[in-house]
Structure 1
């Protein structure tokens, strides 16, 4: 393993965080490498229906473009597509709580706007 001061190679961890259990791979890339270079070097996308252009990429949880520069000991994360739309999932949870008739569900009903077919004068 070369030291980061030498400038030739840096160590980077690549994490595949999809529905399947996460997989981590340590790779060495040139000091001027980009996020896409690290993903290609890891080989994690081979055999999957994901490509660098279709998946979301990040470094330590921050969204990055494939041409973003890397630093020594960065963790590149490959994120798959969302399973469910967050807004739809929240609506379902709220409707479920409202249907139970609990105090929390009633609180949401108090703040609800009147139906559009009601005429307010």
Structure 2
């Protein structure tokens, strides 16, 4: 009878704990069937399958997709913050602190930084010292 079953896993993780449940299911079962059979929804009642994304081996799939031998079904939590917005805020902060070029957003060029501070004379002195006549 066990020859008629396929093996798969259901994974879910929180910041402080994780669950990995191994199952033997009938071939042709959907992702939703496997999740319901695993009992993970009872273990983590906060999971809302209607609004959560699920995947197999890090690729997003639909709940009606069929599970194959060896698949790991992953239930994804929603993002707390938009990564694009976080990067934008971090870049703005770096510009304000002088760690990033205000025009390009890249690293500050030390030679340009001296010029913008009004140290053109110091820069010229450094050039003369490096190339004596």
Task: Give your verdict on TM over 0.5.
Answer: yes
Between Structure 1 and Structure 2, which shows a larger proportion of strand residues?
1
Between Structure 1 and Structure 2, which shows a larger proportion of helix residues?
2
Query: Of the candidates 86, 92, 96, which is equivalent to residue 95 of structure 1?
Result: 92
Gaps of 5+ in 1: 113-121
Gaps of 5+ in 2: 106-133
Matched residues in 2 for 1:28 and 1:45: separation? Answer: 18
The 5 A counterparts of 1:17-36 are 17-36=13-32
SS of match in other structure, 1:15: strand
State TM-score, norm by structure 2: 0.70
**C-alpha displacement at 1:96, in angstroms?**
2.1
Residue 84 (str. 1) matches residue 81 (str. 2)? yes
Name segments (4+ residues, structure 1) moved above 4 Å. none
State TM-score, norm by structure 1: 0.76
- CA-atom RMSD in angstroms: 1.8
Q: Which of 76-85 and 11-20 deviates more?
A: 11-20
Highest relative contact order (Cα 8 Å, sep 6+), 1 or 2?
1
Q: How many pairs does the alignment contain?
A: 104
**C-alpha displacement at 1:67, in angstroms?**
0.3
